[in-house]
Amino acid sequence: MKQLVCVVAMAVLLLTLLAGPTSAAGIKSYTPVLTTGSLADFEGFAEGTLISTQYAGVTFGQSDGGTPMIDNYSWLYGYGCSSGSAVLTGSTSGGGWAPTIEGIVLDFGSPVSQAQAFLSDTSPLGDYVISAYGAGDTLLESVTVLSSEALPPGYSGGFFPPPGTTPLPGIYVGFQRPTADIMWMQIGPSTAEGDSFAIDDVRFGSGAVIPAPGAILLGTIGAGLVGWLRRRRTL
What span, in angstroms and rounded, lies between the C-alpha atoms of 49 and 43? 11
Give the torsion through C-alpha atoms of 173, 72, 163, 88, to 10 deg. Answer: 0
How does pLDDT run across 168-186, given as a tens digit for each residue?
Answer: 999 999 999 999 999 999 9
> What is the pLDDT at residue 74?
75
What span, in angstroms and rounded, lies between the C-alpha atoms of 64 and 98? 11
What span, in angstroms and rounded, lies between the C-alpha atoms of 232 and 220? 19
List, for the chain, all residue ranges whose pLDDT scores fall below the cut of 50: 1-2, 4-23, 209, 211-223, 225-226, 228-233
In a domain, 13, yes or no: no
How many CA atoms are closer than 13 Å to the CA of 178, on its beta-carbon side?
9
> What is the pLDDT at residue 4?
41
- In 3-state terms, what secondary structure has residue 140? strand
> What is the pLDDT at residue 191?
94
How does pLDDT run across 131-163, given as a tens digit for each residue?
Answer: 999 999 999 999 999 999 999 999 999 998 888
Short-list 74, 107, 102, 78, CA closest to 88: 74
What pTM was computed for the model? 0.79
In a domain, 227, yes or no: no
- In 3-state terms, what secondary structure has residue 153? coil
> What is the pLDDT at residue 130?
98
In a domain, 70, yes or no: yes
What span, in angstroms and rounded, lies between the C-alpha atoms of 114 and 206? 6
Q: What is the mean pLDDT of the chain?
A: 82
In a domain, 7, yes or no: no
Domain count, the chain: 1
> What is the pLDDT at residue 213?
44
In a domain, 8, yes or no: no
| 8 A C-beta contact, residue 5 and residue 204 | no
Total residues found in the chain within this entry: 235
Phi, psi angles (nearest 5°) of residue 87:
-135, 170
Domain span at residue 181 reads 27-210
CATH code for position 90? 2.60.120
